[in-house]
Amino acid sequence: MKYEKATYIMGAAKFLQLPEDYGIEVAFAGRSNAGKSSALNALTDQKSLARVSKTPGRTQLIHLFDLGDNKRLVDLPGYGYAKVSEKVKQNWQQTLEHYLTMRQCLKGVVLLVDARHPIKSFDCMMVEAAIAHRLNLHILLTKADKLNNSEKAKAERLLSDYLNQLKASENISFQLFSSTKKTGLDKLKQKLDQWYEEQDTAIG
């Protein structure tokens, strides 16, 4: 897949505003400070495909990017924004839930989790939703460049223990990742290639 050729399609505030449900979509999700936009920019080798902001929660729409051949990347709203009303938070969460449970062309989710901190409630919700709906899920333990080797090992061990407690299926995987150092970028691309190719085969 030539991720560097990704182009912006649109942003949708509500589930019903999304384009026709066909092709293959892979969505990026995560708390608003987990480095989601930076990861998308690193993946596509574009400095501003997904806007990076110092203000958490800037992504308030579902943003879609075209990869060609009816394949898309999706940037889901960051979760954990403090400076919006409770009603707005609830609306965003409902839109997110509709997307994850009703979007037929969604074939996988990349969940970004800050490797420096224990997994949060939203992250747990996403993992459990993926298991319940049999979605492919790949977890990026982000900002790995800010950890030493023992801290990296601890982050991986804690996540592995959590997944084992859930008896997570084989379609859930994880890795360390750094957008700034491009650590783990090739591994991420391989995972996404696998998802897109598997669905191509199924469709064919």
Number of domains in the chain: 1
109 SS3 class? strand
| CATH number of the domain enclosing 158 | 3.40.50.300
What's the pTM?
0.89
Residue 51 has which token pair? 């806007």
What range does the domain containing 178 cover?
Answer: 3-203
Per residue in 66-79, pLDDT tens? 999 999 999 998 77
Residue 10 has which token pair? 């649109």
Q: What is the pLDDT of residue 199?
A: 62
Burial of 177 (0-12, 13-18, 19+ CB in 10 A): buried
Read off the DSSP letter of residue 171: T
User: How far is residue 133 CA from its own chain's centroid?
Assistant: 16
Per residue in 93-139, pLDDT tens? 788 888 999 999 999 999 999 999 989 888 998 898 888 888 999 99
